[in-house]
Amino acid sequence: MRRRLTTPLTAVALAVPLALGLAASPAVAVPADKPQVLSNWTQTSASSYNAWNAARGNQSAWSAYRFDWSTDYCSNSPDNPFGFPFQNSCARHDFGYRNYKAAGSFTANKARLDNAFHADMKRVCTTYSGATKTACDALAWTYYQAVVQFGRTAPAPAAVPAAA
């Protein structure tokens, strides 16, 4: 008799929240290697930048990881100062900041993220020569020093979603 009562009561207990629209959404498991993928995409090397950029271009393939791809690019500074295209460097820097903040390990990774940002901008500068390269390197150094000094430890402000 007990078994017969349990089954109808279980069915009622499950049906009532559904009928009221109170059913909790099932927890979505994030792949266990998310910290490793995040680390791989936020190193100072060109290969790390290229892997991140390829993934950014195909975000849907990485949707299970629930990365925050949003960016405000270079925040309140020009994204392409004097025509030097730092926009993607800033986007990857935002990616690192936002995702390490969400993971609760921002402080431990901030210096590397800032160094990767500087390396990305210096790679942009290698496409120039002479005084133009010198100016680009100087701007890269200035942007780097700004994030070292003023990079936020608090959650980032709302930003525009990144283009897929």
> How many CA atoms are closer than 13 Å to the CA of 59, on its beta-carbon side?
11
Contact 159, 71 (CB under 8 A): yes
When computed from its CA atoms, the radius of gyration of the chain, rounded to whole angstroms, is 22
Tell me whether residue 118 is one of the annotated catalytic residues: no
- What is the greatest pairwise CA distance in the chain? 90
Among 56, 92, 93, 118, the one annotated catalytic: 93
Contact 113, 97 (CB under 8 A): yes
CA 46 distance to own-chain centroid: 17
Q: What angle do CA 144, 150, 156 make, to 5 degrees?
A: 105
Give the catalytic positions in this structure.
93
